[in-house]
Chains A and B, each alone.
Chain A
Amino acid sequence: MSKTYYNPDDLRKFSKITEWNEDLGNKFFDYYGKVFEEGALSAREKSLIALAVSHVVQCPYCIDAYTKDGLQRGIEKEEMMEAVHVGAAIKGGATLVHGVQMMNKYEKLSM
């Protein structure tokens, strides 16, 4: 197998991060588990948010995990792709809105 920075098998080992700091690791997983429970938002909605965010932060492990999670929940592929577009739109918008800062700076520096 060619060497890459990301190894899909590492996703299975995620829980092992507790081995080097049990207290903080467990606190993270407790928090993580709570976040994804049914709440004011349904677990299904949270799964789609997680999928969108996974793309925005460009985490291949998270993309694999939440694509599978979506399939398990019966989420349609069209819903998944729309969620990804929401993430892309925010990310694109976030880039573009900084253009205002660029414009301000340009104007300030210009005679």
Chain B
Amino acid sequence: MPLLKSLAARKDDLSKPANQLKFLSNGIFREEELPLFKDKIAESGNYPLKPKKLEILQLNLGYMCNQVCSHCHVDAGPDRKEIMTKETMQQCLEVIKTTGAHTLDLTGGAPEMNPNFRWFVEEASKAGIKDFIVRSNLTIILANKKYHDLPEFFRKHKVHVVSSLPFYKKEKTDKQRGSGVFDKSIKALQMLNAVGYAQEDSDLKLDLVYNPAGAFLPTNQQALEQDFKTALKEDFNIDFDNLFAITNLPISRFLEFLIASENYEDYMYALVEAYNPAAVENVMCTNTISISWDGWLYDCDFNQMLELKVDSKVQHISDYNEDLLNNREIRISQHCYGCTAGAGSSCQGSVA
């Protein structure tokens, strides 16, 4: 069932990243029923995990969101007030101008809820980044009059929109993301199509993100994409470009669900059993730097939520140094099994 409040607002023990990490290293892992992620990747010669060329700068503009999804690894929601300041955005802009990364990826929460979001997009888009991604939950477009023109704003700045839509049917989507979310998401997708997104001869890209609505792994991304394309076209005349299938990682509210539904052990077994060394080669932490709302640097969005800062002398955007960051070791724990199961999982979908 959709939740009404974040873990943080409920003062739940799991709202503390240290407690999540402790949980992920105890029980079946401490008793050696399952191998630690570190030992597993050592078997395939991937330990320590080192970064490759930096390709993606991912910025979290804040944890505030108009939705409270039951699987959210950010623990985002209307009650979360953490938000990136203009000053931190300015520091990020300086980095964007000098970085070798070709992709800028804005996340949240709902990044559009940051009051300086539009200013930042305008400034950052001048930097000539090849791929400018905004991760939109779609419903924000309809949440308030002031957001209704977002599709037009995205079009103007040639933003690559990556939208969450856990399923092409109402029931599963609403169960995971809240009542009414599916209908609003459909309307928002139609609005994006109407301004030119995912249309023939258009360079405006609209991708969807699928993540399983429960304690199971995603199936083949291509097969799912075909199912989504057929259903959304037939039922709602909606077009999109690609579907990214993302595995739910056992942290934050999804971890809470796994524990409460007594699925945690089975889920971890499934992840470990599906471990794919080929996926390790391309996990997103090897080509990404994730920057939190308050300017700290992380190997990925999940490490950000677990407060595992980069293992480097430079840990804040104000000291950013790409050469030093390239020499770091990537920090890992058992949640990383989520990115290396099956075809692998990243913010851009399958990796193997």
Would you call B216 and A71 a contact (CB within 8 A)?
A: yes
Does B147 touch A at the CB level, under 8 Å?
A: no
A16 close to chain B: CB less than 8 A: no
Please give the distance in Å from A69's CB to the nearest CB on chain B. 9
Say whether A12 faces chain B, with CB atoms less than 8 Å apart. yes
Query: Does B269 make an interface contact (CB < 8 A)?
Result: yes
B219 touches A73 (CB 8 A): yes
Q: Are B212 and A72 in contact, with the CB atoms below 8 A?
A: yes
Q: Are A76 and B169 in contact (CB under 8 A)?
A: yes
**CB < 8 Å: which of A71, A74, A76 contacts B224?**
A74
Q: Mark A18-42, 1 if CB is under 8 A from B, else 0.
A: 0000000000000000000000000
Please measure, in the bound complex, the distance between the C-alpha atom of A71 and the C-alpha atom of B167, giving whole angstroms.
Answer: 11
Residue contact A72 to B269, C-beta cutoff 8 Å: no
For the complex formed, measure the closest distance between the CB of A78 and the CB atoms of chain B, giving whole angstroms: 10
Nearest Cβ distance between residue A90 and chain B, in whole angstroms?
A: 27
Cβ < 8 Å to A, chain B residues 175-215: 212, 214
Give, as a whole number of angstroms, the nearest-CB distance from B76 to chain A. 25
- Whether B217 sits at the interface, judged by CB under 8 Å, is yes
B269 pairs with A74, CB closer than 8 A: no
Contact B169 A72 (CB under 8 A): no
What 0/1 readout, one digit per residue, does chain B (61-100) give for beta carbons within 8 Å of chain A? 0000000000000000000000000000000000000000
Residue B338 interfacial (CB < 8 Å): no
Q: Is B122 an interface residue (CB 8 A)?
A: no
Which chain B residue shows the least CB distance to A64? B266
Q: Chain A's nearest CB lies how many Å from the CB of B32?
A: 15
Contact of B269 among A12, A44, A73, A76 (CB under 8 A): A12
Overall SS of chain A's interface: helix
Say which size band chain A's interface belongs to: under 10
Q: How far is the CA of A12 from the CA of B28 in the complex (A)?
A: 13
Interface centre among A12, A68, A71, A74 (most CB of B within 10 A): A74
A71→B218 CA distance, assembly (Å): 9
Q: Which of B216-267 contact A (CB under 8 A)?
A: 216-219, 223-224, 227, 266
* Interchain CB contact (< 8 A) of B219 among A12, A74, A76: A74
CB-CB under 8 A from A44, the residues of chain B are 223
Residue-wise interface mask of A (37-60) relative to B, using a CB-CB cutoff of 8 A (1 in contact, 0 not): 000000010000000000000000
Q: Please, which residue of chain B has its CB at the minimum distance from the CB of A15?
A: B273
* Contact in complex: A71, B214 (CB < 8 Å): yes
CB contacts (< 8 Å) of B216 on chain A: these are 68, 71-72
Residues of A within 8 A of B169 (CB): 76
Q: Are B212's CB and A71's CB within 8 A? A: yes
Report whether A74 and B214 are in contact in the complex, using a CB–CB cutoff of 8 Å: no
Contact assessment for A72 and B217 in the assembled complex, using a CB-CB cutoff below 8 Å: yes
Q: Which residues of B contact A12 (CB under 8 A)?
A: 266, 269, 273
Minimum Cβ distance to chain A for residue B308 (Å): 29
Q: In the complex, what residues of A have CB within 8 A of residue B167's CB?
A: 74
- In residues 109-150 of chain B, which contact A (Cβ within 8 Å)? none
A44 to B224, CA, bound (A): 11
Residues in B neighbouring A74, C-beta threshold 8 A: 167, 219, 224, 227
A68 to B218 Cα, complex, angstroms: 11
**Complex-state Cα separation, A74 to B266, whole angstroms:** 20
CB distance from A1 to the nearest CB of B (A): 12
Q: Which residues of A50-93 have CB atoms within 8 Å of chain B's CB atoms?
A: 68, 71-74, 76
In the complex, the chain A residue whose C-beta lies closest to that of B228 is: A74
Complex Cα distance A72/B216, Å?
A: 6
Smallest CB–CB gap between A16 and chain B, Å? 12
> In whole Å, how far is A55's beta carbon from the nearest beta carbon of chain B?
19
CB-CB nearest 6 A-B residue pairs: A72-B219, A73-B219, A72-B216, A71-B216, A68-B216, A12-B269
6 more contacts with CB within 8 A, not counting A68-B216, A74-B167, A74-B224, are A12-B266, A12-B273, A71-B216, A72-B216, A72-B219, A73-B223
Complex A-B: 20 CB contacts under 8 Å: A12-B266, A12-B269, A12-B273, A44-B223, A68-B216, A71-B212, A71-B214, A71-B216, A72-B212, A72-B216, A72-B217, A72-B218, A72-B219, A73-B219, A73-B223, A74-B167, A74-B219, A74-B224, A74-B227, A76-B169
